[in-house]
Structure 1
Amino acid sequence: MTLPISHPTRPRAAAASSIIDTARTARRAAAALLIGLLLLGGCASIPTSGPVRAQALPDTDPETIFVEAEGPTVGASAIEITQGFIRAQAAGVNDDFRVAREFLTDARAAEWNPHVGTTVYLGEPALVATGADSAAVEQDDDYSADFVDVGGPVSLAARVDENGALTEASAGAEQVVMFRLMRQDGEWRISQVPDGTLVSQPNFTTTYRRIALEFLSADERYLVPDVRWYPVQNLAAHATEGLLAGPSTWLRDAVHTAVPDRTTLTVAGTVHVSSDGVAVVDLSSQVLNVNTEQRSVLMAQLSAVLMQVPQVRSVRLLAAGADITQTPAMLARGPSTASEVTAVVNGRLGLVTGGDFTADEHFEPLGGGQVTAVAVEPADDDALPLLTVVRRGHSDIVQAPAAGKPAANSVPLLSGNDVSEPSVDRYGWVWSSVDGRIAVASTDGREEPIAEWLAARRVTQVRATHDGSRVAIVSTGTGDDREPVLEVASVVRDDRGAPTQLTQGIVVGGSLADVSGIVWIGESTLAVLAKSSTAPDRGVYTVPLGDWSQPQPAIDNPIALAGSWDVRSLFVLKEDGSLVARSATGASWTSVLTGVAAVAYPG
């Protein structure tokens, strides 16, 4: 699909006692202010002369909701002060952590840096106060010692770094948090606390929003997402500054950007969004030095990012105040919804349409061993796929025999004792793992991309993205730690498009176990077969990059997945050879075909 990108449906958040509807509050505040001014008319006058002073208000979606925080109360216990500080951190993105600092001693408040990262937790922290002798303090408001330590374990949901990149925590992960409190002017205040913030998962997902920054593939034909979380307050400015700062370190060598070096917002932290949804992005003068084509690509990047902000409907680009808006370049973004699913039935390759299978006469019948997987090269510009491969047993991957040329079936592209399911990128390279090592081949030969961090691990699955800039990898340790780890790495290519290096990236799906059967559904989400702490049987899960894994409807004995543009495209192949698809409601699976040996979308 291509840009411009349609705007997603705006979610509505449920009301909660700790949350304020800002639109309603603003109206009430305005009414209260007017009444107050009228009541004060007898003792104070409203100025009728002198300069008019205007103060800009933040651009806020009328449906945006904020967490409310209250400062410390007189006589609060050490535990109450600590609990109040934790609650106030969720509201810090709205008040620059002003209320949160009220719970700290003056010295710590001046030094505390909340912006180095966020720990997202589940449930409520079980806090206990202990005195200098490590004994429990029950009535700590009357405790006379110099300090009190308050702490306890918290269940981890995720960690978010200083750039907004979220890593899902493993199932059952905990962290002990500890705060030291001292008396200041007779009241308990926190004197020792780590930098960074501690926020509950519900408050985090209320006050932050997931945004995919969009960069360019090496050939500048595709947008490549880099997922971050930014505060909903002033979201458009946060997202724009994230794009201007460039991609994450792990992605940097695999992508490009049309943003000129040292480009900033003309006014830091400011992207005005008008009432009719126009985001006005005023960049520094460096943008004036780029040509029209590059400026069009920059417009495409900005539009793709800012159209994820709920109130934005279009983007206007300025450079040092001068309007330089132009039509965004037409860049591809993920697989097309027109992608067709390929299957192997009764030894024939063909397409699945609805509940029917139609053999593809461009290919000879498959022979020379049991087919256990298939992969198809993605087609750019509606061209026919250039390469289709099949795995025979678990020992080799061969090119599917074209009609009239069955001999091609006998030449393995990759072979070994343990060969994983293949994936074909849009450059025509076949990805797999062979005997625990990443292997890449084309009809012209084989490549061994450098991946030093995998030297001591055994790779079991590899799957390339549609943009060709990243791969998902499942690997296990070779020692006592054999639990599979799911990572996304970037792909550095040479001028021929051949992969030469893999850069270690991000760990995803941290809460899942025994991961296998990975496919991409869109450019920033994986579907996997896995187990979890709440479901010991293998099932289907979606794993959005930089987000939490989500279970899909239960299914018996799944062995393989096929997916394309989003979760609605999913097919699941079961152990008995039956193929099922998501039902129209997404709440169950619907039978499609039987007797299926392998299934795949292009990619």
Structure 2
Amino acid sequence: MNKPVRRMASILAMLVGMSALAACGGIPLSSSPVAGPEITDDVDVTIGFSPQGPREGATQEEIVTNFVLAATNPQNDYGLSRSFLAADFAEEWDPDAGVSIRTGAGTPVTVSETRVDYSFRTSASVNREGQYKQERESANATLPFTFVQEDGEWRIAQAPPGIVLLEDNFAQVFREHALYFFDPSFNYLVPDLRWFPNRADISFRVVASLLTGPSAWYANGILLSAFPAGTVVGEGRVSVESGVATVDLSDVASSANERDRERMRQQLSASLSSLASVTNVALTVEGSPLGIPDSGGTAASSSLQVNPLPLVRKGNDFGFITNDEVTPIRQLSAKVIEIDGSGGALSRGGSAMAVLANGNVWAVRPGRVEPLRVDERGGLAVPSIDTFGFIWSAPRSSARAIQVFSLDGERKEVQTNLPADARVLSIDVSRDGARILLYLSTAGGPRLLMAGISRLESIPVSLGELVDLPVGGATPIDATWVDDRTVATLSGSGDDTTVSTWMIGGPSENLGNVPDGSAIVGGNGGEDGLRVLTDSGELFYPRGTVWQGTGNSGSFVATQQ
């Protein structure tokens, strides 16, 4: 999905209200669960669209074509779409089963006297849970429709579940919503992105989906929910009035202790923050208020910021750069220069740094602690360091050989199912410490993998299910986290090096070319915080789809956690 489309989606999302499925969701029984106007029930979200119902005497092919177009109006449970269906089938059809996103015009073809097939090319899909999947390449799809006559007019008697939307229309009919779950330390709220249609009771859909738990790739304790197992939306559902979303829960929610009740409110507040009409959250259980203590300032973080200045090495100086002048980090910068650092990552708070120097990985800390070589295998990739102070390191020749080290040099084995033939271009742990991003080169082409990190008392023990982001075939160079839900790649060669972003559970976007790019790091403010270092040592920043020089330079730019 291109940038103008996503911008249009954001603009329209500020103008329209949102809505939801009518099914209640529940927490799995495992303890490790796998600005605009106020939203009202009569919001019209068909801005820019004017789909029509079936006209008198319409042919079967016209019925199919207009039935598909009618899905741009999801109001009244897709009432307009249902007007094309036979009476017996209208209630049975399930539009919320998923979305096929097409890239161009669809073609209806008559197969028999009572059947029409609708063919199109699909680039992405959304499943019932709202999880978006982008395909590496568009593919052909064909949907069968059968017909009956009612009162002399053709109506659809059978159709596949779900809807079909043109790519541009999807960006206006659906909107992204982040469901928030805790990392095992309960210090961070981590987003799990979903896409829901812009219907008036969207607050219910968000809450019901939150209660079903996180996506499968965050299962087995990678992310946690504070809601007691089996919690569903109560009969009072979700109501929004004067900025307050009152969420009614089933009786099982009353079993939560005070600490978990506060965490439940944190999850709901963060997850409903995408709705401009919601500024506060109240919880009830079967209609009665649920007592919740104040967090006392201990609320989990959901937005992690870093120093806005790039962290670079420039000659014999290392530190934060502005106006091409470097300000060193006290008791740390000199040690990075001492070991001849050529890449690295600074921990949250600046208490430690993982540094690549002469092919080895070092733990560097301020104070009187000498730099410690923790990984001596040679030929190593630039390491990452997580929020718990563990250094992630792997030889460039083998992703499967990834290892984790404490700052004292103790090696920790991490179980993974990373591909055996993969070479490592970059390793980046997210700022919340719950996920890792690896940009790899394999015999089958580049792969950009995201995986959750399973921990035991903060110690990494394994990686979860691999999420394969569908990067193209350009030569991989480097990757980074843009924010808590988006990653970026630098790929290509020579004058043709390109920056692209990939939402974890959303579409990709091309951010343009930076000639001779060699490294990329994230900062603050999403895409605006990205910085690219070129082979000549110049730092570039994005301005729309054009990259401009910052006036700063260096031999390497470090990641800030």
Q: Is residue 2:127 matched to residue 1:161?
A: yes
- Rg larger for: 1
Counterpart position of 1:141: none
1:559 aligned onto 2:518: yes
1:376 aligns with 2:376: no
Q: How does 1:333-372 map to 2 (within 5 A)?
A: 333-338=302-307, 341-353=310-322, 355-363=324-332, 364=334, 366=336, 371-372=341-342
Aligned position for 2:537: 577
Alignment of 1:5-16 (within 5 A): 12-13=11-12
Letter in 2 for 1:436: S
Equivalenced residue count is 521
Q: Letter of the aligned partner of 2:360 in structure 1?
A: D
CA offset at residue 96 of structure 1? 1.9
CA contact (8 A) 1:168 1:510 kept: no
- Contact 1:282-1:317 within 8 A present in 2 as well: yes
Q: Give deviations 1:92-149, integer Å, cap 9, x for gaps.
A: x322233323434456545433332211122322x152445xxxxxxxxxxxxx3343
Match of 1:290 in 2: 256
State the match for 2:229 in structure 1.
Answer: 261
Number of the residue aligned with 2:437:
472
1:420-569 alignment runs, 5 A limit: 420-434=381-395, 435-437=397-399, 438-442=402-406, 443-452=408-417, 454-455=419-420, 457-478=422-443, 481=444, 483-495=445-457, 497-508=458-469, 510=471, 513-530=474-491, 537-565=496-524, 566-569=526-529
The match for 1:305 is 271
- What displacement does 1:368 show? 8.2
Q: What is the CA distance between 1:500 and its match in structure 2? A: 0.9
Matching residue of 1:46: none
Confirm whether residue 202 of structure 1 aligns to residue 164 of structure 2. Answer: no
Q: C-alpha distance in 2, partners of 1:294/1:400?
A: 37
Cα distance, 1:350 vs structure 2 = 1.8
CA contact under 8 A between 1:299 and 1:326: conserved in structure 2? no
* SS of 2:130 mapped into structure 1: coil
Assess, with a 3 A threshold, how the Cα gap between structure 1 residues 550 and 516 changes in structure 2: closer, same or farther. same
Distance 1:555 1:467, change over 3 A: same
Normalised TM-score (structure 1): 0.78
Partners of 2:321 and 2:44 in 1: CA distance: 43
The structural deviation recorded for 1:277 is 1.7
Identify the residue that residue 37 of structure 1 maps to in structure 2.
none
Contact conserved, 1:12 with 1:63, CA < 8 A, in 2? Answer: no
Query: Is 1:390 paired with 2:355?
Result: yes
Pair 1:75-2:57 in alignment: yes
Q: Is the CA contact (8 Å cut-off) linking 1:250 and 1:503 kept in structure 2?
A: yes
Cα distance change on mapping 1:238 and 1:516 into 2, 3 Å: farther
What runs of 5+ residues in structure 1 fail to find an aligned partner?
Answer: 1-9, 24-56, 133-145, 380-384
Please give the alpha-carbon distance, in whole angstroms, between the structure 1 residues aligned to 2:305 and 2:550.
Answer: 24
Rounded Cα–Cα distance in structure 1 between residues aligned with 2:345 and 2:86: 61
Matched, 1:226 2:192: yes
Shift in alpha-carbon separation, 1:288–1:21, aligned structure 2, 3 A = closer
- Which letter maps to 1:224? V
Distance 1:536 1:166 in 2: 33
1:251 aligned partner: 218
How far did residue 439 of structure 1 move? 2.7
Tell me, in whole angstroms, the C-alpha distance in 2 between the residues paired with 1:338 and 1:358: 12
How much has 1:511 moved relative to structure 2?
6.1
1:413-457 CA distance string (max 9 Å, x none)? 25333x222111011111233222233222332223212253465
Are the aligned partners of 2:345 and 2:353 in contact in 1 as well (CA < 8 Å)? yes
| Cα separation, partners in 2 of 1:161 and 1:506, compared to 1, 3 Å | farther
Change (3 A) 1:366 1:452: closer
Larger mean Cα displacement after TM superposition, 458-467 or 227-236: 458-467
Equivalent residue number for residue 235 of structure 1: 202
Residues 511/115 of structure 1: CA separation in 2 closer, same or farther (3 Å cut): farther
Compared CA separation, residues 214 and 402, structure 1 to 2 (3 A): closer
CA distance change for structure 1 residues 106 and 167 in 2, over 3 Å: closer, same or farther?
Answer: same
SS in 1 for 2:12: coil
| Matched residue type, 2:363 | Q
Q: CA RMSD in A?
A: 3.3
2:70 pairs with 88, 96, 107, which one? 88
1:590 aligns with 2:545: no
Tell me how far 1:509 sits from its aligned partner.
Answer: 5.1
State the distance in 2 between where 1:22 and 1:228 align: 17
How far has the Cα of 1:304 moved from its partner? 0.8
The structure-2 alpha-carbon separation of the partners of 1:21 and 1:246, relative to structure 1 and needing over 3 Å to count, comes to closer
Are 2:93 and 1:129 aligned?
Answer: no
Aligned residue in 2 for 1:399: 363
Worse-matched range after superposition: 571-580 or 210-219: 571-580
Q: 1:184 aligns with which of 115, 125, 149?
A: 149
Distance 1:291 1:391, change over 3 A: same
Which residue identity is paired with 2:59? S
Cα pair 1:78 1:129 within 8 Å, conserved: no
**Matching of residue 271 in structure 1 with residue 234 in structure 2:** no
Which runs of 5 or more residues in structure 2 are unaligned?
Answer: 1-8, 19-37
CA distance in 1, matches of 2:234, 2:344: 51
Q: CA deviation at 1:202?
A: 2.7
Cross-structure match for 2:35: none
Deviation at 1:400, TM superposition (A): 3.8
Q: How many Å apart are 1:187 and its aligned residue?
A: 4.0
Q: Distance in 1 between matches of 2:17 and 2:430?
A: 40
For the Cα contact (< 8 Å) 1:115–1:162, is it kept in 2?
A: yes
Distance 1:345 1:123, change over 3 A: same
Distance 1:264 1:350, change over 3 A: same
Matched residue type, 2:343? A
**Relative to structure 1, is the Cα distance of residues 401 and 225 closer, same or farther in structure 2, using a 3 angstrom cutoff?**
closer
* TM-score (normalised: structure 2): 0.83
Assess if the C-alpha contact under 8 Å between 1:169 and 1:511 holds in 2: no
Distance in 1 (CA, whole Å) between partners of 2:63 and 2:42 is 32
CA separation of 1:593 and 1:453: change in aligned 2, threshold 3 A: closer
How far apart, CA to CA, are the structure 2 residues paired with 1:22 and 1:222?
Answer: 29
Does structure 2 conserve the Cα–Cα contact (< 8 Å) formed by 1:451 and 1:501?
yes
Within 2, Cα distance between the matches of 1:581 and 1:327? Answer: 41
- Which among 105, 108, 112 is matched to residue 93 of structure 2? 112
Q: Any idea what the Cα deviations from partners look like across 1:39-67, whole Å, max 9, x if unmatched?
A: xxxxxxxxxxxxxxxxxx98359685565
Q: Secondary structure at the match of 2:211?
A: helix
C-alpha separation between the residues in 2 aligned to 1:148 and 1:473?
A: 47
